[in-house]
């Protein structure tokens, strides 16, 4: 059991876990894109041009920092990872620590991938993560937890319980970007706080496996150095205002 968990984490950190290409986008998603592209794609292209990455990118990585209430967007083509943009998380419930069961109001922590785009969300638009992943299921099974949770989204609006609300305009941009990169599923890391700035500390009453998870998350986020982000942010990171509207570089 422990060996399987360690092997899974190392493959996630290295980015070598095989994933089949996503199914074609649904007609409903295509209709949303037809509405979003004329308004939003020019500014997305500018951000990627400024970062020196082709648009749409070959690889897309989101880093969600719970304490900082921020989602970083990184992308790469054949070269190194480049910081593209930041989105402010306007609402998220829970505290530091992984999600353990349905209804605990926790935002998960770990390595995830985007598995679906929802054009009919009651939160404007939403982007579904593959929670619970294999790591979550392994630990839930070992501890006798039959319902570790489900339906974790990044979505619009400014309130949420267990998900990540980033506002309507921000989710439109991210929805479009993820759709444009759909053949190579985007990855998402969720951390309790920025392990590049502060070493991991375990929450009170943490399960034994959380220390290993945090160690792997620390290794994973180190592939996206703050120095690279700082260079990009000299001209403006594009953080969000409190109303959820993008402040564009």
Q: Which residues are catalytic?
A: 155, 163
Spatial CB neighbours of 81, under 8 Å, sequence gap ≥ 6: 59, 61, 74, 75, 223, 224, 228
Place of tokens 């990044």: 154
Cβ-based burial of 193 (10 A; exposed 0-12, middle 13-18, buried ≥19):
middle
End-to-end CA distance of the chain: 47
Instruction: Put residue 216 in one of left, alpha, beta given phi > 0 → left and psi -120 to 50 → alpha.
Output: alpha
Best CA proximity match to 15, nearest among 226, 216, 230, 180: 216
Best CA proximity match to 100, nearest among 148, 155, 161: 148
Go through the chain and tell me how many residues it has: 249
In angstroms, rounded to a whole number, what is the distance separating the alpha carbons of residues 172 and 39? 10
In angstroms, rounded to a whole number, what is the distance separating the alpha carbons of residues 69 and 62? 13
CA 182 vs. chain centroid, Å, equals 15
Best CA proximity match to 16, nearest among 8, 24, 4: 8
């Amino acid at each position: 059991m422990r060996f399987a968990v360690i092997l899974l984490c190392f493959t996630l950190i290295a980015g070598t876990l095989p994933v089949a290409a996503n199914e074609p986008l649904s007609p409903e998603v295509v209709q949303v894109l037809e509405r979003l592209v004329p308004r939003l794609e020019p500014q997305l292209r500018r951000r990627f041009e400024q970062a020196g990455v082709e648009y749409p990118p070959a690889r897309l990585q989101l880093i969600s920092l719970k304490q900082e209430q921020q989602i970083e967007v990184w992308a790469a083509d054949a070269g190194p990872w480049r910081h593209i943009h930041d989105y402010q998380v306007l609402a998220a419930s829970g505290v530091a620590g992984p999600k353990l069961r349905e209804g605990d109001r926790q935002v998960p922590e770990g390595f995830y991938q985007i598995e679906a785009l929802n054009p009919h969300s009651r939160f404007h638009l939403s982007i579904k993560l593959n929670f619970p992943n294999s790591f979550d299921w392994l630990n839930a099974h070992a501890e006798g937890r039959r319902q570790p949770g489900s339906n974790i989204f990044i979505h619009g609006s400014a309130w949420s319980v267990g998900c990540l609300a980033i506002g309507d305009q921000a989710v439109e941009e991210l929805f479009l970007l993820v759709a444009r990169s759909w053949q190579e599923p985007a990855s998402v890391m969720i951390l309790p706080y920025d392990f590049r700035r502060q070493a991991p500390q375990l929450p009170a009453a943490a399960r034994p496996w959380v220390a290993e998870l945090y160690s792997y998350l620390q290794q994973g986020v180190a592939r996206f150095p703050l120095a690279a982000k700082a260079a990009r942010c000299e001209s403006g990171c594009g953080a969000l205002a409190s109303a959820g509207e993008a402040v564009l570089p």
